[in-house]
Amino acid sequence: MSPTLARFFPILQWGRAYDRKALSGDMLAAVIVTIMLIPQSLAYALLAGLPPEAGLYASIAPIILYAIFGTSRALAVGPVAVVSLMTAAAIGNIAEQGTMGYALAALTLAGLSGVILLVMGLLRLGFLANFLSHPVIAGFITASGILIATSQVKHILGISAGGDTLPEMVWSLAEHLTATNWITATIGITATAFLFWVRKSLKPLLRRAGLGPRAADMLTKAGPVLAVVVTTLAVWGLNLADQGVKIVGAVPTGLPPLTLPSFSSDLISLLLLPALLISLIGFVESVSVAQTLAAKKRQRIDPDQELIGLGAANIAAALTGGYPVTGGFARSVVNFDAGAETPAAGIFTAVGLAIAAIALTPLIFFLPTATLAATIIVAVLSLVDFSILKRSWSYSRADFTAVAATILLTLGLGVETGVSAGVLLSIALHLYTTSRPHIAEVGLVPGTQHFRNINRHDVLTEPSLLTIRIDESLYFANARFLEDFIADRVATGCPIRNVVLMCSAINEIDLSALESLESINHRLGTTGIKLHLSEVKGPVMDRLERSHFLQQLTGQVFLSQYDAVRALSPTVIPPAARTA
């Protein structure tokens, strides 16, 4: 088997080692995940503004494609809450919910997202996801959780309301509140309370009743299924649909249909930016889940191959009546905990869901949408975690600013603006910090060959020798800053004869910075002061040697700062060490 083939088709690797033990683990995990996914896929389709079957379809073909191309053993791919919300936000302004245009736009969004992920993977651009910083993602997920939960309140109350941002949603809910259908509200609120209780209190109860930890966990995860069954039976038995309780209704029976996304350039240009954001957010969420789970079993994830796997999954979604998918946190953890050994578990899950699509859809005719809304609300409120605000506040004001802005803008202006602003702001804050670097004057720590900041440590110095350590790479944004600092410092310190630039923290000197160094060297030279460098790193030195700077330099380049001091100001060094 060629290594390239194995890289692009991880299935060839795990497939040949597949055995009976892996099979039994994968089968069990697939049964549990299938039971969990049936209500979840229906609910997330509702959140995305699509008919319920779109959620099922988005869970079948994509999961198989990911199993072939993905590198994670436990990741479960399908519709997830945040991506469903982003899908609704992206399409909401283009087409009316419930129309063919809306469904077509969802297919197109999935197709675009798949192509973007695939191309990024083939070009090995996985590193781009690193520009979504942890605090920005944390803030975005928290704000999205609030938006999602708020968007479901209308289904709980049985009213119609709209809005893409928190103020719009709250305003619209308030306007329609008087139209509340009290039977729907009773079902919705009871289901929500029940599911919260299941999540919080059922597991300890079952444990106390003598169940093993894993069985208790699995039963807890089946809570939503119970809520679905009970409320469906209640609506059917009591004829509540006639009282205005909204139900899922007729869902087509059968395997996912073959579909084609739109190739209209107008639609594509409208959806391109949302597709890019959905791809990045989905990729980041998926990879971080996959890495967490892989680390537990000492396996490794290849982020660039993950892009290919997720790209293939999204293209599959576009061709089989789905919408954008990614690796979900909750379902992947359940899959892992239930003992999934290989991606074959995903293939078995797909088979289970296909059976559901063929055989079970008539049974959910009377399922009230309020129950689906309740499962969404309970699932996403666990995403809401404001502790990132406290953590970042105490650690760094820049990180806090990025988090707070992401949360506020996501809530106030919508998901796309929120996450874009968060990314741009965190990059801008980083650039701002590096454009005004920390600069320290350093001296010798007595009894060592080590140099530290004269303001923080008791160190030895000599007035004719000024040693400056600049704590940043030198590049265009801070080149002039160093020029100004040295000009000011030299103007105030009269007897200076030598300036040493200690370069231990300089990882790059770009052309702008080189010009600044040349001008510092020249300006110091005209006042009779020599400029020296010390501790210049290999890659930086290689580059300086390709310029004329080293010939122009009035002073020398020293391997270490200690060598520089020994040569330029030997009186600082204790007599015993001077000859060493």
List residues near its own copies by CB under 8 A.
127, 130-136, 295, 300, 391-392, 394-396, 398-399, 426-427, 430-431, 433-438, 440, 445, 447-450, 452-453, 456, 471-473, 475-481, 487, 504-508, 510-512, 514-515, 523, 535, 537-539, 543, 546-547, 559-560, 562, 580
Instruction: State the nearest-atom distance from the C-beta of 418 to its own copies, in Å.
Output: 17
Nearer to its own copies, 102 or 562 (CB): 562
Three-state SS annotation for 5-47: HHHHCCHHHHHHCCCHHHHHHHHHHHHHHHHHHHHHHHHHHHH
293 vs 291: CA distance, rounded Å:
5
Instruction: State the nearest-atom distance from the C-beta of 351 to its own copies, in Å.
Output: 35
Instruction: State the nearest-atom distance from the C-beta of 44 to its own copies, in Å.
Output: 28
82 vs 268: CA distance, rounded Å:
21
239 vs 225: CA distance, rounded Å:
21
Instruction: State the nearest-atom distance from the C-beta of 201 to its own copies, in Å.
Output: 30
Nearer to its own copies, 182 or 395 (CB): 395
Token pair 């396996």: residue: 299
Nearer to its own copies, 172 or 401 (CB): 401
Nearer to its own copies, 57 or 336 (CB): 336
State whether residue 382 is helix, strand or coil.
coil
Question: What is the maximal distance between C-alpha atoms in the chain?
Answer: 100
Contact 154, 173 (CB under 8 A): yes
Nearer to its own copies, 450 or 578 (CB): 450
- CA distance to 126, 127, 288, 306, per residue, from 284 (Å): 9, 10, 6, 10
Give the pair of three-digit tokens for residue 394: 């105490």
Nearer to its own copies, 257 or 574 (CB): 574
State whether residue 558 is helix, strand or coil.
strand
Instruction: State the nearest-atom distance from the C-beta of 144 to its own copies, in Å.
Output: 19
Considering Cα of 225, then 231, then 234, then 240, what sign does the dihedral take?
A: negative
Instruction: State the nearest-atom distance from the C-beta of 537 to its own copies, in Å.
Output: 6
Give, as one character, the DSSP assignment of residue 128: G
State whether residue 184 is helix, strand or coil.
helix
Nearer to its own copies, 189 or 454 (CB): 454
Nearest Cα neighbor of 508 from 546, 556, 543 is 543
Instruction: State the nearest-atom distance from the C-beta of 441 to its own copies, in Å.
Output: 12
